[in-house]
Amino acid sequence: MKHEILAPLVGESITEVSILKWTKQNGQAVKSGEVLLEIESDKATVEIVAEHSGALTILKNDGERVAVKSVIAFIDDSVAGTAGVSSAKAPPPPPSSGVKAPPAPPAASASSIEALSPAVRKAVVENNVNPAQVQGSGKDGRILKGDVMAFIASGGARSAPTSAQLPKLNDKPGDRRVPMPSIRKRIAERLVFAQHTAAILTTFNEVDMKPVQDVRAQHKDAFEKKYGVKLSFMSFFTRACTLALKQLPAVNASIDNGDIVYHDYCDVGVAVGTERGLVVPVVRGADQMTFAEIEKGIGELALKARNNKLSIADMSGGTFTISNGGTYGSLLSTPILNPPQSGILGMHKIMDRPVAINGKVEIRPMMYLALSYDHRIIDGKEAVTFLVAVKDLLENPTKLGLEFI
């Protein structure tokens, strides 16, 4: 019996996914429970596991975009399959019967209303978008709903039909054109959306990191021995932010259809850089965690991110984000909000600088902090007060409740 393998439904708004790579070969014998392939959506990477044993027949190859719930392969449990020496290519077409099939009608233009899927057509009509102005990212340039949403977020829907469009680049020797990965498109879409829908401001402060460095140096070995995880700066910053968020709940809030939604919990997103782009997995209930639990939670999510194992659930539902550009040497930056969140803290590189301490100049390890916030619900006073609270907690780490001491 042949068992179909379908492209998974990985989110309500996602209609297409990409086949990242097959881990098995065409015609190879597979066993129930083995990983067959990785699927990439615009939010996460998902592994597809065999539900039956038998011979694998691959219908869609690496790099192809396919509709969710479409058949991408099947497993025949009546066939033993090979040891996996054949290449992972789609099976050749059946022998020709000698009768030529009538030519297929020409495909409708990617920019015509008739060529659009129902979901895309609805988005185009409701938002008064000219599909000819939307750059399609689907197969053969087909327009996806995400393309329309990104076009709207970029302000394109408000442009007159006669507005000038950016010219298409003419490739020259030395240029290399590759398709933009789905996750990169999603990142771009969200950043543009944030810039065009929120009133983003950034306020800055600096923190003397010597007190935290002293605590960490004194207790890091015992901490790692006791809990099996390293004591990093991230747990100090996460604890400081959750305490400050309790004092300034607007920084932990969101806007939803004209309402302000206050969150009486702190689900903290931690930005992680990967080869495929920046992802922000969420440490849930961070305000209820110990230092060791925070470190373990961040470590597990970072490992999953770098191994492309994050699920959609891992990256959904955060209330506040921390981004550590200092890991890459950034001295100062203005982070962009992660919608629908209203605040994001940017950490930066620790630099020895001369500062005035009790009337004397001393060299101290200083870090610039940046808080970007949505001015629609957070006033400047609240933003500055939040950042000052974080600074005070870090410069007086005993206020953090160092339960590991």
Parse the chain into domains and list their residue ranges.
2-76, 112-157+180-197, 199-400
pLDDT value of residue 118: 60
pLDDT value of residue 317: 86
Average of pLDDT values for 212-241?
A: 96
pLDDT value of residue 292: 97
pLDDT band at 155 (very low <50, low <70, confident <90, very high): low
Average of pLDDT values for 65-80?
A: 87
pLDDT value of residue 98: 46
pLDDT value of residue 150: 76
Kindly report the CATH number that applies to the domain delimited by 2-76: 2.40.50.100
pLDDT band at 167 (very low <50, low <70, confident <90, very high): low
For residue 364, list its beta bridge partners: 353
pLDDT value of residue 399: 97
pLDDT value of residue 103: 42
pLDDT value of residue 85: 45
pLDDT band at 139 (very low <50, low <70, confident <90, very high): low
- Cα separation, 359 vs 357, whole angstroms: 5
pLDDT of 190 higher than 80: no
pLDDT value of residue 93: 47
pLDDT band at 265 (very low <50, low <70, confident <90, very high): very high
High-pLDDT (> 90) share of the chain, %: 49
pLDDT of 45 higher than 80: no
pLDDT value of residue 212: 97
375 tagged catalytic: yes
- Cα separation, 202 vs 245, whole angstroms: 17
263 tagged catalytic: no
pLDDT band at 234 (very low <50, low <70, confident <90, very high): very high
pLDDT value of residue 56: 92
pLDDT band at 12 (very low <50, low <70, confident <90, very high): low
CATH topology of domain 112-157+180-197: Dihydrolipoamide Transferase (4.10.320)
pLDDT of 2 higher than 60: yes
Q: Are strands 320-324 and 268-270 parallel, antiparallel or unpaired?
A: parallel
High-pLDDT (> 70) share of the chain, %: 82
Taking only the tens place, the pLDDT of each residue in 306-361 is 888 888 788 888 999 999 999 899 999 999 998 889 999 999 999 999 999 999 99
**379 or 314, higher pLDDT:** 379
Most confident of 50-54, 259-263, 337-341: 259-263
Average of pLDDT values for 251-261?
A: 92
Q: Are 270 and 338 in contact (CB under 8 A)?
A: no
Catalytic residue chosen out of the listed positions 171, 208, 375, 392: 375
**139 or 130, higher pLDDT:** 130
Average of pLDDT values for 165-169?
A: 64
CATH topology of domain 199-400: Chloramphenicol Acetyltransferase (3.30.559)
Please indicate whether the domains covering 2-76 and 112-157+180-197 agree at the CATH topology level: no
State the Cα angle at 402 between 280 and 210, rounded to 5°. Answer: 80
